[in-house]
A and B are shown apart, each in its own frame.
Chain A
């Protein structure tokens, strides 16, 4: 009997990717059950597996957890990636929520109608380089430590690396003005569990291609 967490989602990044990152960073092996067509989603909805009829859903520790933020918080808490006290958790939460906002912008870009894409791209580059990255550059500069919070590896570091790499996929030189984020990226990528996740053959998913957008839309709409 496998006690490994089991992830239910389509075979792509979407809202499940941050969960894959966090489990991988924590060194937790997991299984995946991919939704290939609408029927797969309907089946899960009908058998009562999805609290709010939605995925992501992760079977973990006897629970069928839904809601991305709830799942991430649980994993972070369980694997000691959530700081040592309430105040550190507060900082981690603030940073992570900001990164999630940026990630959301990045994630929805592929789904933008053609006529809105250029404007949307400009917005996401602007927000990344003027609102979000300066914050984390400053945090690292102010304390001079390797990790964002409490001189200890946390979910905030995992989320930041994911966000930095995704942003670079949109604009390869997007970190040009952020030397500390560049060194953070290199350092964090070398953490053994993360290094493994970044190698081919891991469960990390590639960015969604235009040609796959329709297939994904069909599952969820």
Chain B
């Protein structure tokens, strides 16, 4: 009997959110054990569950996996979302690393001091619209296919949708110059597993608010 994967993280997006997206898109049900206070983190640190004393941690297939990228790669490969050969995987990896960089910038926005927030937001918008989105817009325009790599849904598509939605939370019309990405967003949002994940009541987590950030600071000491 295959047990469901079990995710260990606070009840918020952070670095776990991409993992929730990928599992959901793959149609894999999962459980969550939320870290609500420092003691919860200490407990799994002390019982040897965390290889490098850090979360995300995902119990999956008899392993206690850590390191976001390792977990995502494993899930992608297991559920055939990683292309058909080494070269497709190379492209998926490149695209994923780009969206990871962009989402990393967005993720750190709530942590900025008040006086640097505006500047950081401006940088996010600049990077999104001049460095990252043009790449994916061009990729879709060039091959004219529905998906980024190999004419098939992959990890790269799922992560791009996640990044687009996060960027739109920063600036609602951020896709205005990117017609391919607008169509892509509509199309991928309608993939049944993803459509389900985007509905209320799913395990998708809301945008972090001040309260959540304060809790995270307490748990992780920063």
**SS class of chain A's interface: helix, strand, loop or mixed?**
helix
What CA separation (Å) do A89 and B112 show in the bound complex? 36
Tell me if A116 counts as interface (CB < 8 A to partner B): no
What CA separation (Å) do A93 and B86 show in the bound complex? 16
Chain A nearest CB, measured from B194 CB (Å)? 24
Q: Are A69 and B69 in contact (CB under 8 A)?
A: yes
- The segment from A3-11, A94-102, A142-150 that touches chain B is A94-102
Q: Are B87 and A63 in contact (CB under 8 A)?
A: yes
Tell me if B212 counts as interface (CB < 8 A to partner A): no
Residue of B51, B53, B97, B132 near A69 (CB, 8 A) is: B97
| Chain A residues in 8 Å Cβ range of B101 | 52
Most B C-beta atoms less than 10 A away, residue of A51, A53, A66, A135 = A51
What CA separation (Å) do A131 and B90 show in the bound complex? 31
Q: Are A90 and B70 in contact (CB under 8 A)?
A: yes
Chain B nearest CB, measured from A25 CB (Å)? 18
Q: Are B51 and A98 in contact (CB under 8 A)?
A: yes
Tell me if A78 counts as interface (CB < 8 A to partner B): yes
Residue of A73, A90, A132, A135 near B89 (CB, 8 A) is: A73
Tell me if B222 counts as interface (CB < 8 A to partner A): no
- The segment from B71-79, B117-125, B172-180, B183-191 that touches chain A is B71-79
| Chain B residues in 8 Å Cβ range of A89 | 73-74, 77
Q: Are B90 and A63 in contact (CB under 8 A)?
A: yes
Residue of A61, A70, A135 near B94 (CB, 8 A) is: A70
Chain A nearest CB, measured from B123 CB (Å)? 14
Of all chain B residues, the one with the shortest Cβ separation from A64 is B94
Q: Are B51 and A73 in contact (CB under 8 A)?
A: no
Bitwise interface map of A from 45 to 70 toward B, beta carbon under 8 Å scored 1, else 0 = 00000011100000001010111011
**SS class of chain B's interface: helix, strand, loop or mixed?**
helix
Q: Are A52 and B77 in contact (CB under 8 A)?
A: no
| Chain B residues in 8 Å Cβ range of A52 | 98, 101, 131-132, 135
Q: Are B78 and A86 in contact (CB under 8 A)?
A: yes
Residue of B61, B78, B86, B93 near A67 (CB, 8 A) is: B93
Tell me if A87 counts as interface (CB < 8 A to partner B): yes
What CA separation (Å) do A93 and B51 show in the bound complex? 12
A-B contact count (CB 8 A): 76
Tell me if A77 counts as interface (CB < 8 A to partner B): yes
Residue of A65, A66, A94, A132 near B65 (CB, 8 A) is: A94
| Chain A residues in 8 Å Cβ range of B135 | 51-52
Residue of A61, A93, A98 near B73 (CB, 8 A) is: A93
What CA separation (Å) do A132 and B66 show in the bound complex? 13
Tell me if B129 counts as interface (CB < 8 A to partner A): no
| Chain A residues in 8 Å Cβ range of B93 | 67, 69-70, 73-74
Residue of B69, B77, B90, B132 near A97 (CB, 8 A) is: B69
| Chain B residues in 8 Å Cβ range of A65 | 90, 94
Bitwise interface map of B from 66 to 110 toward A, beta carbon under 8 Å scored 1, else 0 = 111110011001100000001101100110111001000000000
Q: Are A94 and B131 in contact (CB under 8 A)?
A: no
Chain B nearest CB, measured from A83 CB (Å)? 12
Q: Are A51 and B94 in contact (CB under 8 A)?
A: yes
Q: Are B89 and A74 in contact (CB under 8 A)?
A: yes
**10 nearest CB pairs, A to B:** A93-B70, A70-B93, A97-B67, A67-B97, A94-B70, A74-B90, A70-B94, A90-B74, A98-B52, A77-B86
* A-B contact list, 14 entries, CB within 8 Å: A53-B131, A63-B87, A67-B97, A70-B97, A73-B73, A73-B90, A74-B89, A86-B74, A87-B61, A90-B73, A96-B70, A97-B67, A97-B69, A98-B67
Q: Which residues of A contact B (CB under 8 A)?
A: 51-53, 61, 63, 65-67, 69-70, 73-74, 77-78, 86-87, 89-90, 93-94, 96-98, 101, 131-132, 135
